[in-house]
Chains A and B, each alone.
Chain A
Amino acid sequence: MASMNMVQAINSALDITMERDQNVLCLGEDVGYFGGVFRCTAGLQEKHGQHRVLDTPIAEAGIVAAAIGMGVNGLRPVAEIQFADYIYPAFDQIVSELARLRYRSSGEFYAPVTIRSPCGGGIRGGQTHSQSPEGIFTHVCGLKVVMPSNPYDAKGLLISAIEDDDPIIYFEPKRCYNGPFDGDPDKAAQSWNGHPKGEVPEVYYTIPIGEAAIVRPGSAVTVLTYGTMVHVAEAAIERSDIDAEQIDLRTLLPLDLEAVAESVQKTRRCVVVHEATRTGGYGAELVADVQEECFWHLEAPIQRVTGWDTPYPHAFEWDYFPGQDRIIAAMRCALEV
């Protein structure tokens, strides 16, 4: 075991898959020579060569499109979109091409592309460096959507994603690259060093796509989380003295509905937490799924804690960011009835 932060875990996953499979390659803006603006691809070009770790022009549509062509022809490209906020120029290629190849060719061909992209706020990045667009992609049939919350999962899930034959949007909650973030901006930054999930095997291992993890068992209320909000909710639960059961979804699509339903049927109450905006968000899908599966078990309306329905603001970051207080209030609300 080694101590790794999320950046190192991602780097290790890329390195290992590139070593095991000559068809794996990385492409994106500044991923090669510079090693990525967040350093996730540091050293990979040196080690695996310029023909396998490509610095692309600033052209997101081109990056994804090239990955599709590579994928259809037997390669396994990992495309980096430097910030999730820059993924929109590639949207057409993702939605109209990547996601649909298998269906429209009746299963004849497909592109096993992984798109890695840092997402989320809490980094004082304003509206073009903080967004959480996962719900836009879970709405697209044919894509899988993954978001790890810690280094151990990040590595295992990324290896699985690269080996998966379906296109995967792999979002990296960048606020947790260097350490878990519990939502309190005034607290000194935590590091992954010493955190159990910062202990990462240096060797190959996988975590299955579509399997949620129980962060904390409990009986009073189920709290569904993923990404950065895993740590915020964990701290909120700790502070609240509520015996909540917390789930880290890890994969948004396919959703591990079995694990979710089992938990909610036990606790009979549910709170959904995400950083993304509320209306039409992934949380709405979760709420619908939970009520379909657990309606007769539920004791109270399902609560949602989300970002506000606004662009990500520059000046109001901590009013926007769904912090511990809002999570505690939602849990209490779910427990009131």
Chain B
Amino acid sequence: MNRYPDDEQLLSIYRTMVTIREFEEAAGRMAEQAQIPGAVHLYAGQEAIAAGICTQLRQSDTITSNHRGHGHCIAKGGDVRLMFAELLGRASGYCRGKGGSMHIADLDIGILGANGIVGGGPPIAIGAAFAAQYNGSGGVSVCFSGDGSTNEGTWHEALNYAALFKLPAVFVVENNHYGEFTSQEGQGAISRLSNRAASYGILGVTVDGQDLLAVYDAAAEAIERARAGEGPTLLECDTYRFYNHTGRSERDPRPEEERAKWRERDPLKLLREKMEERSILSAEAADEITAEIQGQIEAAVAFAKEEPFPDPSELLTDVYS
């Protein structure tokens, strides 16, 4: 049985994807101009995954994210103004400026945090899944991580643990075929990462991560199974990042041909075409959406730039209770 979003939901997902793209374009530009302290890892190219999955989550469901976390946060309902403020280290940022791009978190909407440590998120996700199971809340814990992270021991510990306790978790592996500058094939002897599920006795699925409808469908099933107490799913999404590891200007060792091929498979473009085909969205309406969201992003950046820095006295707070 295929599960598809209805028209209204599709439009909302599309808007989320455009928001992520525009956020990343702006963040990339700002990083290039050294306006943002530290590295930003852009999610552009992978939007269908975060958007297609998070749209099916309840606010109280939780996600853990990784260093490439802006997309996950936006899709889970993050406020782009507070995200930009955090990137810029401002007092009104999500972590009052103490975290930065790689640590955006908002427990009120179930974002347990982006994470600067590869493999840091998966074990936290099982704790969250355990809490949901323990409380009988019917909640689901979704762990977003990359192909590279599946080589960390913590990732394997998390899957085994989740499988053993039949935890309500979905392990999303965004296989963008590179971990930093080394290809996925250069880091492991298998290339279908969903095959790793077999060794934990759980279901493993691979979908086209550029195809929103495919992601949506596979995620619907995984989330349903988790909610029904049927245990975790490993959901591999085949995808590509449009920019290099930490942005737009550094040396990119990926072959030009490969990059061009994936550019053709832009998840926004593919979804837009589908929606136009089905007359859910006209070309003009799509352009309007883009323009409107560009305006929102500009306003968010302007907001963040005007925000004050935190008071230096806060440097020493929040280390202990």
A: residues with CB less than 8 A from B are 29-30, 33-34, 37, 55-62, 85-86, 88-89, 124-129, 308-311, 313-317, 319-320
A125 & B38 in contact (Cβ 8 Å cutoff): yes
22 contacts between A and B (CB under 8 A): A30-B180, A33-B253, A34-B180, A34-B181, A37-B181, A55-B186, A57-B188, A58-B151, A60-B152, A62-B151, A89-B152, A89-B153, A89-B154, A127-B116, A128-B102, A310-B315, A314-B38, A314-B103, A315-B37, A315-B93, A315-B96, A316-B310
B153 & A59 in contact (Cβ 8 Å cutoff): yes
Which of A57, A128, A314 has its CB near the most chain B CB atoms (within 10 A)? Answer: A314
Given contacts A30-B180, A30-B181, A89-B153, contact A310 B316 (CB under 8 A): yes
Query: Which of A58, A61, A129, A315 sits near B149, CB closer than 8 Å?
Result: A58
Chain A residues with Cβ below 8 Å from B119 are 58, 89
Given contacts A55-B186, A58-B151, contact A33 B116 (CB under 8 A): no
B315 & A316 in contact (Cβ 8 Å cutoff): yes
Q: A126 CA to B89 CA in the complex, in Å?
A: 10
Chain B residues with Cβ below 8 Å from A313 are 97-98, 315
B302 is an interface residue with CB less than 8 A from chain A: no
Chain A residues with Cβ below 8 Å from B181 are 30, 33-34, 37
B38 & A58 in contact (Cβ 8 Å cutoff): no
Query: Which of B97, B117, B118, B151 sits near A314, CB closer than 8 Å?
Result: B97
B186 & A320 in contact (Cβ 8 Å cutoff): no
B70 CB to closest chain A CB (Å) equals: 15
Given contacts A33-B181, A310-B316, contact A126 B117 (CB under 8 A): no
Query: Which of B39, B153, B319 sits near A311, CB closer than 8 Å?
Result: B319
Q: A314 CA to B95 CA in the complex, in Å?
A: 10
Task: Kindly identify, within residues 82 to 119 of chain B, every residue whose CB is under 8 Å from any CB belonging to chain A.
Answer: 89-90, 93, 95-100, 102-103, 116-119
Chain A residues with Cβ below 8 Å from B151 are 57-59, 62
Which of A59, A60, A85 has its CB near the most chain B CB atoms (within 10 A)? Answer: A59
Chain A residues with Cβ below 8 Å from B100 are 126-127, 314-315
Q: A243 CA to B152 CA in the complex, in Å?
A: 51
Q: A320 CA to B182 CA in the complex, in Å?
A: 34
